[in-house]
Amino acid sequence: DAKTTQPTSMDCAEGRAANLPCNHSTISGNEYVYWYRQIHSQGPQYIIHGLKNNETNEMASLIITEDRKSSTLILPHATLRDTAVYYCIVRGTGGGNKLTFGTGTQLKVEL
């Protein structure tokens, strides 16, 4: 699976958009980009995933660059409850389902 690089931490003002970047320059053609988050002490929560096209759901938007070497998770209107560690994971479609979590980005949403 391709390695990902994320900033260690980010701050965001409540009500503003939170844009979390992820680099995955070694991604291959059949690998998806997944985003999960872990709010303190809770189980990880799936947010969104994509292959090539941008994706949007009720939680967030995922913007994947044309060359697929990086992506950005956008929380359009961050709230205090969005404070969490956000994990960007790249995973292919073969060889089993396990996801490998890196260190993620600690997002702190403040008033």
Partner 1 sequence: NAGVMQNPRHLVRRRGQEARLRCSPMKGHSHVYWYRQLPEEGLKFMVYLQKENIIDESGMPKERFSAEFPKEGPSILRIQQVVRGDSAAYFCASSPEFSGANVLTFGAGSRLTVL
Which residues bind to partner 1, rule: CB under 8 A? Answer: 32, 34, 38, 41-46, 49, 51, 91, 93, 96-104
> Contact, 106 vs 9, CB < 8 A?
yes
Q: Which residues pair with 90 in a beta bridge?
A: 33
Q: Are 89 and 102 in contact (CB under 8 A)?
A: yes
Contact 78, 66 (CB under 8 A): no
Taking the complex as a whole, how short is the minimal distance between the CB of residue 92 and partner 1, in angstroms? 9
Smallest distance from partner 1 to CB 29, Å: 13
CA 28 vs. chain centroid, Å, equals 18
Nearer to partner 1 (CB atom), residue 14 or residue 32: 32
CB of 13 to partner 1, least distance (A): 27
Whichever of 80 and 99 has its CB closer to partner 1, that residue is: 99
